[in-house]
Amino acid sequence: MILSVFGAGAQPAGAATSGDVLTAQPVSVYLAPGRLLEVPVDAWKILYRSTSATGAANQVSGLLLVPKGSHHGTRPIIAYAIGTHGLGDQCAPSHQMQRGTDAELALISLLLARGWAVAVTDYEGLGTPGTHTYMAGISQGHAVLDSIRAAARVPGAGLSASAPVGIVGYSQGGASAAWAAQLAPTYAPELRIRGVAAGGVPADLRRVAENLDGTADFGLAAAAGVGLDAAYPELNLAGYLTPEGRTLLDAAKDDCLEDIKRALAGRRLADLTTADVLALPAWQARLAETRAGAVAPKVPVFLYHADGDEIIPLSVGRTLRADWCARGAKVLWTSLPAPSHVLGAVAGAPLAVQWLDNRMRNLPTLTNC
């Protein structure tokens, strides 16, 4: 049954705000394909109000997962920002977790095991109409913060708007968590955020794109171009694509991660465009705007990165650390002895969960700026 929250304590028509829940549908989520190994939680597929990168109202889908049973005191709410899933609607975590095909649910289970509620956003355009605004940090940060607001407004979930909050994410999710940390003081100042854990953060998209050009993972850079173009229409990516580039990127809009990587492996931006897109003034302006680090988070941050990250260079993470530290942020940084981007997620997840647990317990915060 899909529950409409209007008339159930939500804002009346004409007074809609970001984080308002439009629908909440009870669902089940699974750890394995074939709907095997059901996760013992109360779960809702939600549709909620948020804000685009340019300040327009939009609608975003996601999941809310709440451990079964009572919880002494106010149950913490953790926003889990997913890593790259792809651009097609079928790639959305709210869809994949119901089918048992989302590997990140295993990491989310570490949070659920602590008794915390977990809000998982699909981000703008992933599972909802329009192209996914992949790697548009402002849009992603808004979607994360509004998923927390929405979680507290789902009827029957038993969550409070005054609950202690944590945010965690890796890769695309790391960027989303970083942007949520930067945006929170002005966009969602009412949230009681205790800390933000961000791993493998692609803080500088131009640097990441240069690193991926011509590699097996070039599809990630191409997808980011599609996502930024969707967020900022003045970029006019289509006007600079070759016929082959248009065909490949139009197809990518309906694909999930592995298909995007396979179709674009080894390609270069110059192969698909008629101009040096990254050098165009409009693109340079938006890439600068999307670079994380210009604003210091007001809450403690755990920032981690794999030494051997082949997708997002370790130097990108170190620069973000330096930028935030120079602006007075409380940052605990660690480089992980992991040989790849994916293994960095695996190695960092338990550390991030323990760090968040310390924040939920109000233990002293360590920094190493």
Q: Is residue 222 part of a domain?
A: yes
Per-residue model confidence (pLDDT) at position 12: 35
Cross-strand partners of 351 = none
Count structural domains, the chain. Answer: 2
Residue 14 has pLDDT above 60, yes or no: no
Per-residue model confidence (pLDDT) at position 2: 47
Place of tokens 């109409």: 129
CA 26 to chain CA centroid, nearest Å: 23
Q: Is residue 368 part of a domain?
A: no
Q: Which band of pLDDT confidence, cut at 50, 70 and 90, is reported for residue 16?
A: confident
pLDDT digits (tens, 9 = 90+) for 174-232: 999 999 999 999 999 999 999 999 999 999 999 999 999 999 999 999 999 999 999 99
pLDDT digits (tens, 9 = 90+) for 142-160: 999 999 999 999 999 999 9
Place of tokens 């599609």: 226
Q: Counting Cβ atoms within 10 Å, is residue 47 exposed (0-12), middle (13-18) or buried (19+)? A: buried
Q: Is residue 79 part of a domain?
A: yes
**pTM for the complete prediction?**
0.95
Render 85-121 in DSSP notation, one character per residue. -BSSGGG-HHHHHHHT--THHHHHHHHHTTT-EEEEE
- Structural domain boundaries, residue 243: 214-289
Residue 13 has pLDDT above 70, yes or no: no
Domain end marker among 251, 267, 289: 289
CATH number for the domain spanning 260: value is 1.10.260
Place of tokens 């602006």: 327
Q: Counting Cβ atoms within 10 Å, is residue 36 exposed (0-12), middle (13-18) or buried (19+)? A: exposed
Cα–Cα distance, 274 to 281 (Å, whole number):
16
CATH number for the domain spanning 161: value is 3.40.50.1820
pLDDT digits (tens, 9 = 90+) for 249-293: 999 999 999 999 999 999 999 999 999 999 999 999 999 999 999
Q: Is residue 94 part of a domain?
A: yes
Cα–Cα distance, 62 to 161 (Å, whole number):
18
Question: Phi, psi (5° rounding) for residue 304?
Answer: -135, 150
Residue 9 has pLDDT above 60, yes or no: no
Closest CA to 175 of 199, 149, 191: 199
Q: Which band of pLDDT confidence, cut at 50, 70 and 90, is reported for residue 7?
A: very low
Closest CA to 135 of 188, 48, 207, 191: 207
Per-residue model confidence (pLDDT) at position 70: 78
Residues 231 and 159 in one domain: no
